[in-house]
A = this chain, B = another copy of it.
């Protein structure tokens, strides 16, 4: 929101000044510290330039954009199938976008999204089956809400813990499985 281009130059001046001033009165380390203290927040939030998870598995089915396309990498939040996902990407947790990590159980019930595959321009129904029965994966969190609805409208709600229909409701990560083509809406 606070994107005011007019501030650009003023900020840079302030910044250069700040840098010089710090450098004069403090050691490099504490200089980094003060600066870092302020910036790391920015970094940790919307601005975070996170790399795609290098440790993830990238299984790229035929007919998809491919890992190097902006929406083709299953380990990225902007992978085309993730348009309505809310959770940790199984590709980063020992599974893939279509399979669960070892030792987890895939929930048979789930919520769905309707996402467009850039490779063929078609809309597909995506089923975000959770992988369950292991403590939360914690890697590659991704939250997108295209068509998301409140929890009283379950089949379209990504806030619901979908680890059900099995005997353990512990959530680990989420898959994004192609169920079939959707009528263009």
Whether A183 sits at the interface, judged by CB under 8 Å, is: no
- 1/0 contact string of A7-45 vs chain B (CB within 8 Å): 110011001100110010001111011111101111110
Asked if residues B8 and A16 are in contact (CB atoms below 8 Å), the reply is no
- A49-B33 contact in complex given A40-B43, A41-B40, A44-B40, C-beta closer than 8 Å: yes
The answer to whether A23 and B8 touch across the interface, beta carbons within 8 angstroms, is yes
Flag if B32 contacts A39 (CB, 8 Å): yes
Which of the listed residues A37, A44, A49 has the most CB atoms from chain B within 10 Å of its own CB? A37
Query: What bracket does the count of chain A residues touching chain B fall in?
Result: 20 to 34
* In-complex Cβ contact of A37 among B7, B15, B32, B48 (8 A): B48
A72 to B140, CA, bound (A): 43
Tell me which of B19, B27, B36 contacts A3 (CB under 8 A). B27
Partner of A28, one of B11, B19, B27, B40: B11
Is the beta-carbon distance between B29 and A20 smaller than 8 angstroms? Answer: no
Decide yes or no whether A54 CB sits under 8 A from chain B. no
Does any Cβ of B come within 8 Å of A185's Cβ? no
8 A-B residue pairs with CB within 8 Å: A3-B28, A8-B23, A16-B16, A16-B19, A30-B49, A32-B39, A33-B47, A35-B35
